[in-house]
Amino acid sequence: MKVLIVDDELLLIKGLKYSLEQDGYEVDSALEGSEALRKISLNEFDIVIFDLILPDMDGLEVCQKIREISNVPLLVLTASNEDMNKILSLEYGADDYVVKPFNILELKARMKAILRRTKGAAQKPNEQTVVVDDFIINALGRKVSLHGKEINLTAKEFDLLLLLATNPGKVFSREELLEIIWGYEYFGDLRTVDVHVRRLREKIENKNKNYEYILTKWGVGYYFRNAH
């Protein structure tokens, strides 16, 4: 597994690099957002860990620019415990976040949860392609097309769509989705689910909010429409 750490704190990079390499990860690093973008454009990483506060660019801008060129899983480090920073990082395409100072075991648990979901599809060769309504979902390649047009989804957005689409009509509570998609190691709140559902809807639904695919059961949760 190849990891890119983006942070301007050399001691943090050194400590994280040592700890992750002990677990068998291959670790690269960048001190600035522009350097990170260059490395991501030239290399394949399994996950990127980056700080929201960087010397040359705003971390949210970095997140947005990464999403323009790659669907690599993003784990954000933030020095603030403010809910707005957490929600914004998810809105801009991050898969998860950790608040500084953090416990290295928590960070590793979140990493593993993301990577397990991202790589897990490769362990199901008999379920490579799922056709649901107008969607073609390639579980092995983790690609989705709608009406023949490919849709770029983040790791969590893909997992969420795959779960809902393959269980049409089944209503999942936000608590269930948080546990299934983010794993029992996840320590976040239920708004994380709402943010990802909203982002996913923006990519697959029409623009007038007359949702056709991912529907809401008020007071209960979310579900994918039954096939026509």
Go through the domains of the chain in sequence order and give each one's CATH number.
2-121 (3.40.50.2300), 124-224 (1.10.10.10)
Please state, in angstroms and rounded to a whole number, the distance separating the CA atoms of residues 70 and 90: 15
pLDDT digits (tens, 9 = 90+) for 64-118: 899 888 889 999 988 776 777 778 888 888 888 888 888 898 899 888 888 877 6
Sheet containing strand 149-151, edge to edge, reads: 129-132, 135-138, 143-146, 149-151
Residues 6+ apart with CB under 8 A from 186: 96, 110, 113, 178, 179
pLDDT digits (tens, 9 = 90+) for 148-204: 888 888 888 888 998 998 888 999 998 888 888 877 555 567 788 898 999 899 898
Strand partners, 132: 135
Residue with tokens 């490395």: 39
Pull the structure tokens for residue 66.
């990464």
Q: Measured between alpha carbons, how far is residue 227 from residues 169, 214, 221 in Å?
A: 9, 12, 19
Q: Which of 15, 18, 16, 54 is nearest to 36 (CA)?
A: 54
Q: Please say whether the dihedral angle defined by the alpha carbons of residues 122, 124, 126 and 131, taken in this order, is positive or negative.
A: negative
Q: Is the pTM of this model over 0.75?
A: no
Q: Are strands 74-78 and 47-51 parallel, antiparallel or unpaired?
A: parallel
